[in-house]
Every structure is written in structure tokens, then in C-alpha cells.
């Protein structure tokens, strides 16, 4: 096995541990790497002639990307005592960095998170670059845990309890400047203007050597070692106030569905009043309480889904390289078109944009630049970014202007005839190697491609609204779409920072096909006498970001009616046409866009209020003698049709792996991550249990009758995740 950690001496009395895993794109603290670090420390601790030790990485943009999550995922039958031992072992190793006979410095360039951040805080000092990629943080709560190798011990003693609580319970990373202001970083090195990566690395190393020598001379590191080993001095009143305010904020953010942030806060408050040694013991014991819980397992699964997606090329032949996309055309400058254009421009891809209406083109161009120029810190576009990105968008009116584009994405109105007429004119202007794609959310890719001269270079690239925020992209393979086109579309989406999944052509593709049974059932419940409050409440209690009735208003009831007609035509045995929805559209109750739907709105973006006229509007559509349903039955009626439709998608091989279903629903509709995904959740219940849950509902029709795949799994005891194709 190749060495990951090497020891060198840039100056005779300065030791340098360099991490660079030759087999991975990031440095991960797997057990063998920890053993290498331990062996080097054992040798260095015996030295009395050293001025100090520096830890750095040679990975571009990566210091250490945390512990090896796959090792955590594999530990299924581990006992509480074994978990405590693992946490203690890691913390004890890192503690050695704060006990060496010389100062230790973490020289951080790039991502430094999780176990990497814990290694860094056990060093006496941390020095960071000003690169925007340089971030430090503790994301463990996003995996249903908190730091277990001393992160909760050292961080509050370095930056204060309040700052540590924000960092650790929030799970977000901060850049070098913020870390320096907080006291987490000693200094920030300006490397962004360096002429080369090698020059930047040398600047950081020289600054770290200077810091080592300054600490060795002043002896300040010995003072802080002593200070950071003691309890944190705070009055009971201060602790109680911090605990109350932080608890209220965390509860509001997590809705009580994620236990790790509150557990981390309670640990920080309690262990802060102990010395560092006792606090470490408390951390390990608390870590063991969270590790292996259902939420922890589910969130680790989401991490693994994301990690798998990053490596997926979209096609079976992994040697097939995607074509480089250097320029993009977008046809349609509405909400979706401008959003797609903005996503491209943000990644510095030149965009040619057009629209049939001049006023829409002007507005779409402006919106695209604003989207690209959005700054998370400023919470809006900045002048600097506007000036940078504006030249990358070119508004045109002639289709011949798209001849220079590597990829053209159509995002016009959802009308099959209009799209096909557009393609017939457009295709004559495109280069022989250009890819044409549609952003359609419902129309068959196969039908759209039927008149094309080159259907092999046509596919669906379906973004989700709002494009800037939504990570999912469905890449739709038509009957004649080539592997080269799919691989290029997947590579393009990843280049925009999105998570693409490949789906075979079919009604609703993946996400909308699975979403619609859930939405359709919400209307059936409503016309059965169940209140909006109880329907939306059941969905939100399950973990959805909003209820299905609210979602109708957000999406637009006219849009939902169109999608519903597509699904009803495709699956008339289990998709019920809703007279209520049709009547609401005819009455102009379209949701937020018309300021009235199921709720009323003062402004289009406002949160809806109950509509006092809705009950009267609903009355003619209520079924006679509606049954009283308990909350669990409402939940089952909402989510079991979605699950059954997913089994049909798997049986029809619309996706290549069950995990694509879960990633698609988490990133596409906000399926609760703490359940791990729809099929992961189903696997935790077991197919046999789901069949039993369906029995009281089978009389409602085909949408609640178990599918052959579900029955096979119930009989065999296998899981959905074992169906990996």
C-alpha cells in the first residue's frame, strides 16, 4: 500500500508531515492513515532538537476531507463500548499534537472538515490561505453525529462556547477570514495572487515555518495548552441563557427531526465545565449514543448516495469520456431558461440566449446575470460579480446564432407541437457534433426526437425550479439517444455543480412520476373530508419541507393539471382525474401566481393564509359520508402510492440503480434526508411490513395494491438496495 503521510524537513529543525493519498482525489482519515500519523508522531516526540511540526496537504483545494465515512457505514453490529473505544483512540492520537515538546501548526489550504478539522484544532495553531476553497468546519451533525475525536473539547476552548456551538450544531464551514476573526485561525496567508499553485504552497509553508519559530521563541503555545486544558469559565446564568436561545433556534431549524444538533449543544454546555480530559470522556460517551441510530444510518446513506453520484458517469462504459462543453445555447428566457443560463454563466460558460418575445428576452438576460452574480454572504448580486458575468450572456434573435454552441437547451412552453417545430428549424443551424436537449418536465423525449435528423444527439436535461437552489438534474435517455450524448449531458450537469441522474424516457420521467401519486392522493383525501391542516400536517410530520396542498399552490394548479393529465393518460388505472383541480383552474385559482388557490396570498411570494371561501368551493366535490382517518392512515395514504410507483419504476428499469430513486427524491422534492430516501426507508420497514400496511387500503383501488416486485421482496426477505443492477 502506498504511503499517504510523508515526513520531511524543509529546514533542519522543522518537521513537515505532508498528506497526499495517491489513490484518491481527497485525503481521508481512514484507519491506515491514522496509523501512519501515529508512527510519525512516535518518532518525532523523541526529538529534542526540533523547533516545531507543520501538518499540510498537497491535494489541490483539499486539506483533509474528514474521516472515512465508509468505515462508519460498515460498522453495523458495533457495541456502545466499541464505539467509545474508537472515539477515544482517535482523540488520544490527536491529543498528542498538543503534547509534543515543540509547537504544532496546521497549514490549511482547501477543505478542512470533520476529522480533518479535529486534527487541526488539536494543533497549537492553525494558519489558512485566502483561497475561497479554503474552509474549515464540523459537518458531523449532517450525518446524525457530532465530532468524536475531540472537536467538542478543543473548539469551545479556542473560540469560546457560543462560537463553538454555532459551528458544531450548525455544521456549516467558514473561510479563513471568518476563522481568523473568530480566533480559530492564527493568520490568513494571501496566496490567491500567487503565480502558480506551487508558489502558493510555498507561501503557505514559509508562513507556517515563521509561525513555528515565533511560537518556539515566545513560548505562547505552552500558555494556551495550559489554558485550553481547563474548564471554561462561565456563570450559570450565562450558560442557561446560551442553552435556551440556542435550543430554541436549533428546534426551529430541525423541527425536532434531527437529534444530533441538540445532543451536541447539551454536550458542549455540560462538558465546558469540566477539564479537557473529562470533556473528552463525555464526548466519546455522547458520540456512542448517536452512532448507529436510525437517523445516523439514514444520513450516512444520503452521504453515500451523493458520493456515489459524484463518481457516476451516467453510462455503463466508464471509459467513455464526455465531450467538453465550452458554450451553451438556451432557447426560452422565462423562469427556467434564465435560471439555466444563470447556472451556466456562474461557471463561466458563455451563453447564447433567445426568446420569441423581446420583452422576455431582455428580462431573462437580466435575470440570468443576477442569478449568476448571487453572493451568499451579501444575499444578492454584487457589483463585482455583475461586471464579471454580464459579458458572458449574449441575447440573439436569429437561430443561426446557435451554430457556435456545443449544447443547446430548449426551455420553451410545454407544448409538444411547438417544441418539434422549433427543433425542425433549429437543427439545420447546429454543428454536426452539437447536442440538442429539452428541459421538458413531462413530454416524451422519444416523441420529441421523432422528427430529428440526429435523434442520437438529443436528450432531456430537466432542471428543477429554482435552478440556483435545486441540485437535481434528470438526464433523460430517449430510445435513440447515444451513450456519448448521455455521458456529455451528465458531465455538463456536474460541471454546473448539480447532481444528475439518468432516467429512461417515460411519463413524468422519475421525480414527477413518483411525486404525482402523492399529490393525487392529497386531493383524494381532501375530497374525502380530511382537512388541509391534517393533510399538510401529516406530510410535514413525516419530514417533507411542505405539505402537498401547499405545494400545489407553489407549483401552480394549472401546471399540476397539465402534469396530471399526462399521468392520467399514461396510468388511468391508478391516477384519478380530479374534478376539483380542474374546477379551481377554470375559476382562476392557480395558487401563488394568481394570489389565490387553496390558500390566499397578499403577494405572489407570501406565505399563504387560509381562504375563508374555500370550504364553500370544495363542498360540491366532497364524497358522501367521509370516513374519519387517523394521522397514520393519512401518512400511509400519502406515501405508500409513491413507494408502489417506485417499485414499478424499478421493474421497468427506468433507472439503473435503486439509489437513483432515493437521490432523485431527496434532491428533487425534499424527501426527508433523515429517512435516508424512499427506498432506504422502505428497507428499514421491510417489504413484508409494507404489504401488511397496504391491506386495509387495497379496497381503494390499483394504486394501493402491492406490485409483483414488492411481493417478491416480501417473500424472499430481500431489500430494495439489493436490487443493484
So which residues are the catalytic ones? 462
- Of 497, 495, 464, 468, the closest CA to residue 381 belongs to 468
With 0-12 / 13-18 / 19 or more C-beta atoms within 10 angstroms meaning exposed / middle / buried, residue 398 is exposed
CB 113 within 8 A of CB 135: yes
CB 36 within 8 A of CB 87: no
CB 329 within 8 A of CB 372: no
DSSP reduced 3-state for 62:
strand
Distance, in Å, from the CA atom of 611 to the CA atom of 606, rounded to the nearest integer, reads: 14
CB 119 within 8 A of CB 154: no
Distance, in Å, from the CA atom of 423 to the CA atom of 442, rounded to the nearest integer, reads: 17
Distance, in Å, from the CA atom of 302 to the CA atom of 292, rounded to the nearest integer, reads: 14
CA-to-CA separations, 571 to 462, 555, 562, 568, 575, in angstroms, rounded = 22, 22, 14, 5, 6
Cα-flanking dihedrals φ and ψ of residue 669, to 5°? Answer: -125, 0
In terms of C-beta distances under 8 Å and separation of at least 24 residues, what long-range contacts does 226-232 make, across chains too?
227/157, 228/98, 228/154, 228/157, 228/158, 228/276, 229/157, 229/275, 229/276, 229/277, 230/157, 230/275, 230/276, 231/272, 231/273, 231/274, 231/275, 232/156, 232/157, 232/160, 232/161, 232/272, 232/273
Cα-flanking dihedrals φ and ψ of residue 506, to 5°? Answer: 170, 160
CB 119 within 8 A of CB 178: no
- Of 695, 681, 691, the closest CA to residue 717 belongs to 691
Task: Output the CA torsion 352→355→356→361 (10° steps).
Answer: -110
Distance, in Å, from the CA atom of 265 to the CA atom of 270, rounded to the nearest integer, reads: 9
CB 666 within 8 A of CB 646: no
C-alpha cell of residue 506: 417515460
Task: Output the CA torsion 713→718→719→723 (10° steps).
Answer: -90
- Of 678, 714, 12, the closest CA to residue 305 belongs to 678
Amino acid at each position: 500500500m502506498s504511503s499517504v503521510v510523508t515526513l520531511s524537513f524543509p529546514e533542519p529543525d522543522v518537521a513537515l508531515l505532508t498528506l497526499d493519498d495517491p489513490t484518491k482525489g481527497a485525503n481521508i482519515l481512514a484507519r491506515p492513515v491514522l496509523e501512519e500519523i501515529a508512527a510519525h508522531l512516535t518518532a518525532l516526540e523523541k526529538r529534542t532538537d526540533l523547533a516545531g511540526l507543520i501538518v499540510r496537504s498537497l491535494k489541490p483545494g483539499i486539506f483533509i476531507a474528514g474521516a472515512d465515512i465508509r468505515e462508519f457505514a460498515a460498522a453495523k453490529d458495533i457495541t456502545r463500548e466499541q464505539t467509545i473505544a474508537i472515539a477515544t483512540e482517535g482523540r488520544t492520537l490527536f491529543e498528542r499534537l498538543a503534547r509534543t515538546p515543540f509547537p504544532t501548526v496546521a497549514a490549511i489550504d482547501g477543505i478542512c472538515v470533520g476529522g480533518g478539522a479535529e486534527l487541526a484544532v488539536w494543533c497549537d495553531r492553525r494558519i489558512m490561505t485566502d483561497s475561497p476553497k479554503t474552509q474549515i468546519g464540523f459537518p458531523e451533525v449532517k450525518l446524525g453525529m457530532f465530532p468524536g475525536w475531540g472537536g467538542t473539547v478543543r473548539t469551545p476552548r479556542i473560540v469560546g462556547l457560543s462560537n463553538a456551538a454555532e459551528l458544531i450544531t450548525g455544521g456549516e464551514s467558514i473561510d479563513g477570514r471568518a476563522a481568523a476573526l473568530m480566533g480559530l485561525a492564527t493568520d490568513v496567508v494571501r496566496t490567491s495572487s500567487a503565480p502558480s499553485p506551487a508558489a502558493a504552497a510555498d507561501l503557505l509553508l514559509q508562513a507556517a515555518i515563521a509561525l513555528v519559530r515565533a511560537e518556539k521563541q515566545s513560548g505562547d503555545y505552552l500558555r494556551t495548552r495550559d489554558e485550553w486544558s481547563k474548564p471554561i469559565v462561565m456563570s450559570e446564568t450565562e450558560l442557561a441563557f446560551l442553552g435556551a436561545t440556542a435550543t430554541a433556534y436549533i428546534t426551529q431549524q430541525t423541527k425536532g427531526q434531527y437529534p444530533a444538533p441538540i445532543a451536541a449543544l447539551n454536550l458542549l454546555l455540560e462538558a465546558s465545565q469540566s477539564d479537557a480530559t473529562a470533556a473528552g470522556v463525555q464526548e466519546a460517551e455522547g458520540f456512542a449514543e448517536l452512532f448507529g441510530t436510525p437517523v445516523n444510518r439514514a444520513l450516512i446513506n444520503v452521504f453515500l448516495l451523493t458520493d456515489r453520484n459524484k463518481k457516476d458517469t451516467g453510462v455503463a462504459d466508464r471509459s467513455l469520456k464526455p465531450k467538453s462543453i465550452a458554450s451553451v445555447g438556451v432557447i426560452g428566457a422565462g423562469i427556467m431558461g434564465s435560471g439555466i443560463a444563470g447556472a451556466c454563466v456562474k461557471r463561466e460558460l458563455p451563453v447564447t440566449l433567445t426568446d420569441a418575445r423581446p420583452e422576455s428576452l431582455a428580462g431573462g438576460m437580466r435575470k440570468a446575470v443576477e442569478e449568476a452574480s448571487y453572493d451568499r454572504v451579501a444575499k444578492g448580486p454584487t457589483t463585482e460579480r455583475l461586471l464579471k458575468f454580464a459579458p458572458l450572456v449574449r441575447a440573439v434573435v436569429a437561430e443561426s446564432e446557435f451554430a457556435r454552441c456545443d449544447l443547446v437547451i430548449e426551455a420553451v412552453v410545454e407544448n409538444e407541437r411547438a417544441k418539434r417545430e422549433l427543433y425542425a428549424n433549429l437543427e439545420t443551424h447546429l454543428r454536426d457534433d452539437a447536442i440538442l436537449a429539452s428541459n421538458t418536465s413531462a413530454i416524451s423525449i422519444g416523441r420529441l426526437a421523432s422528427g430529428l435528423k440526429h435523434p442520437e444527439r438529443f436528450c432531456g436535461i430537466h432542471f428543477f425550479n429554482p435552478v440556483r437552489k435545486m441540485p437535481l438534474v434528470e438526464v433523460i435517455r430517449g430510445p435513440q439517444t447515444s451513450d456519448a450524448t448521455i455521458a456529455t449531458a451528465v458531465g455538463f450537469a456536474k460541471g454546473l455543480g448539480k447532481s444528475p441522474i439518468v432516467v429512461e424516457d417515460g411519463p413524468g420521467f422519475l421525480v414527477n412520476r413518483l411525486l404525482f401519486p402523492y399529490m393525487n392522493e392529497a386531493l383524494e383525501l381532501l375530497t374525502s373530508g380530511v382537512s388541509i391542516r391534517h393533510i399538510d400536517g401529516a406530510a410535514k410530520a413525516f419530514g417533507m419541507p411542505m405539505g402537498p396542498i401547499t405545494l400545489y399552490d407553489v407549483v401552480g394548479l394549472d401546471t399540476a393539471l397539465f402534469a396530471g393529465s399526462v399521468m392520467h393518460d399514461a396510468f388511468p388505472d391508478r391516477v384519478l382525474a380530479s374534478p376539483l383541480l380542474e374546477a379551481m383552474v377554470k375559476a382562476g385559482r392557480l395558487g401563488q401566481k394568481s394570489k389565490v388557490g387553496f390558500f390566499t396570498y397578499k403577494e405572489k411570494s407570501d406565505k399563504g393564509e387560509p381562504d375563508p371561501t374555500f370550504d364553500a368551493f370544495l363542498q360540491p366535490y366532497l364524497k358522501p359520508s367521509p370516513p374519519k382517518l387517523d394521522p397514520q392512515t393519512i401518512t400511509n395514504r400519502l406515501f405508500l402510492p409513491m413507494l408502489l410507483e417506485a417499485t414499478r419504476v424499478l421493474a421497468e428499469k427506468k433507472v439503473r440503480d435503486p439509489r437513483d430513486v432515493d437521490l432523485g427524491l431527496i434532491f428533487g422534492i425534499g424527501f426527508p434526508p433523515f429517512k435516508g430516501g424512499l427506498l432506504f426507508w422502505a428497507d428499514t420497514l421491510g417489504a413484508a411490513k409494507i404489504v401488511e400496511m397496504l391491506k386495509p387500503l387495497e379496497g381503494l383501488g390499483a394504486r394501493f395494491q402491492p406490485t409483483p416486485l414488492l411481493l417478491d421482496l416480501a417473500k424472499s426477505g430481500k431489500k430494495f438496495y439489493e436490487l443493484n443492477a
